[in-house]
Amino acid sequence: MIPSMKKNLIYLFLCATLTVCAQTPAGRLSLNGEVKAEGKVYLHKFNNKMYRLIDSTRIVNGTFSFSTEAKLPEIYGLSLTTSQSPYMIFLDNQPTTVKLDTAHYYRHTVVTGSALQDLFVDYQKDRQVKIDAFIKAHPKSLVSVYALYRDFSYRLTPEEIKANLKLLDPSLLKTPYASVLQELVNTLGTVAVGQRAPDFTANDPSGNPVKLSGHLGKGYLLIDFWASWCGPCRRENPNVVRAYRQYKDQGFSVFGVSLDRSEAAWKVAIDKDSLTWTQVSDLRFWNSEPAKLYGVRAIPSNVLVDSNGIIVARNLRGEELDKVLEELHNSPVSKD
């Protein structure tokens, strides 16, 4: 081959390679933003309803920028402090601009450039969304599998979860969100009404290990999943306290399982809400092993078991809890 021709071919090959690389920045963020603040902006990776800090950058003249190596497309979070819940943002492999609002929960933040974020914003506006219809309209979108994982997993039966997973593009089944859902399908079958409640051990507020099975045999037991940071849980606690006081003399009790991560906050909430029954927690937030064992994807959540440890009801709240307990305790054919 003539040397000059060889050089030209090499040059053309390098130009083509550089052009492709420039057009496919997957794996590295192109994220720029504006914010009326000083200090730093923190970048977090979303994982199992929690965020893990992965990078930070200084705010310079009201602007910030990230070019962090990262998985794309994926869900991230932006915050101005490490102690504050981040603003959730869906990022694809396109350059994205963020006007980060400093108000509580960053509620007026504006994102441009990410088609995924645009779809997520539209999804959040639709209060009547039907998840199967949404997935059918967007079978390849990360928003679809996230919505199923985050907002519908605790409302659907195992069969409904499986049916919706089948609507997703196969590429999404490799995401951690689909993996959680697939595992949840199997778990929910083991904690359905009629099944024996799985046993577990966790520490009480004093650090002593407590076994669930050690609290069976006296009467009906409500395994109550909650957390000090959960507003709906704290609003439901007075109902549980009332039911406990009404039926405790008939053997009814409660076994509290907290998804807290702060031991101090957990203890304060126990005292403030007058939760006088046994409480345990592994202080692992959404990585709670007991919650995973029972397929808990939203709180408050509970499981009612009889004296033999057989599950008789799930997710009883308010007047429904009172009604079921009254029927069980007044039944002439009570197992307890």
CATH of the domain at 280: 3.40.30.10
Q: What pLDDT, on a 0 to 100 scale, did the predictor assign at position 329?
A: 85
131 contacts 147 by C-beta, under 8 angstroms: yes
Least confident of 23-37, 74-88, 249-263, 313-327: 23-37
pLDDT tens column, 264-279: 999 999 999 999 999 9
Structural domain boundaries enclosing 38:
31-118
From 118, 136, 168, the end of a domain falls on 118
Domain match, 172 and 284 both: no
Domain match, 298 and 233 both: yes
Looking at residue 66, which CATH number applies to its domain? 2.60.40
Domain match, 166 and 56 both: no
Axis crossing angle, helix 231-247 with helix 319-330, rounded to the nearest 10: 20
Q: Which long-range contacts (CB under 8 A, 24 or more apart) does 57-61 make?
A: 59/35
pLDDT-based confidence at residue 7 (cuts at 50, 70, 90): very low
**Which tokens in the block code for residue 307?**
């004296």
Instruction: Let me know if residue 165 belongs to a domain.
Output: yes
Q: What pLDDT, on a 0 to 100 scale, did the predictor assign at position 104?
A: 81
- Asked whether residue 42 carries a pLDDT value surpassing 80, the answer given is yes
Instruction: Work out the percent of the chain whose per-residue pLDDT is above 90.
Output: 86
pLDDT-based confidence at residue 54 (cuts at 50, 70, 90): very high
- What is the domain count for the chain? 3
pLDDT-based confidence at residue 334 (cuts at 50, 70, 90): low
Instruction: Let me know if residue 335 belongs to a domain.
Output: no
Nearest to 81 by CA among 39, 35, 29: 39
Does 180 or 331 have the greater pLDDT score?
180
Strands 110-112 and 253-258: unpaired
Q: DSSP class of residue 171?
A: G
Tokens 């359905």 found at:
192
Domain match, 167 and 285 both: no
Axis crossing angle, helix 158-167 with helix 176-190, rounded to the nearest 10: 160
Tokens 């509620």 found at:
107
pLDDT tens column, 68-94: 999 999 999 999 999 889 999 999 999
Domain match, 111 and 138 both: no
From 118, 147, 167, the end of a domain falls on 118
67-100 in b/e form (b: 16+ CB < 10 A) is ebebebbbbbbbbbeeeeebbbbbbbbeebebeb
pLDDT tens column, 129-155: 999 999 999 999 999 999 999 999 999
Domain match, 145 and 225 both: no
Span 11-16, mean pLDDT? Answer: 34
Domain match, 255 and 319 both: yes
Domain match, 226 and 113 both: no
- Asked whether residue 39 carries a pLDDT value surpassing 90, the answer given is yes
Q: Three-state DSSP class for 176?
A: helix
**Integer Cα distance of 62 and 248 in angstroms:** 59
- Asked whether residue 114 carries a pLDDT value surpassing 70, the answer given is yes
Domain match, 58 and 111 both: yes
pLDDT tens column, 223-250: 999 999 999 999 999 999 999 999 999 9
> Bridge-partner residues for 63, per DSSP?
34, 60
Span 58-66, mean pLDDT? Answer: 98
Domain match, 107 and 152 both: no
Q: What is the mean pLDDT of the chain?
A: 91
Instruction: Let me know if residue 248 belongs to a domain.
Output: yes
Q: What pLDDT, on a 0 to 100 scale, did the predictor assign at position 17?
A: 30
- Asked whether residue 308 carries a pLDDT value surpassing 50, the answer given is yes
**Integer Cα distance of 27 and 15 in angstroms:** 21
pLDDT-based confidence at residue 332 (cuts at 50, 70, 90): low
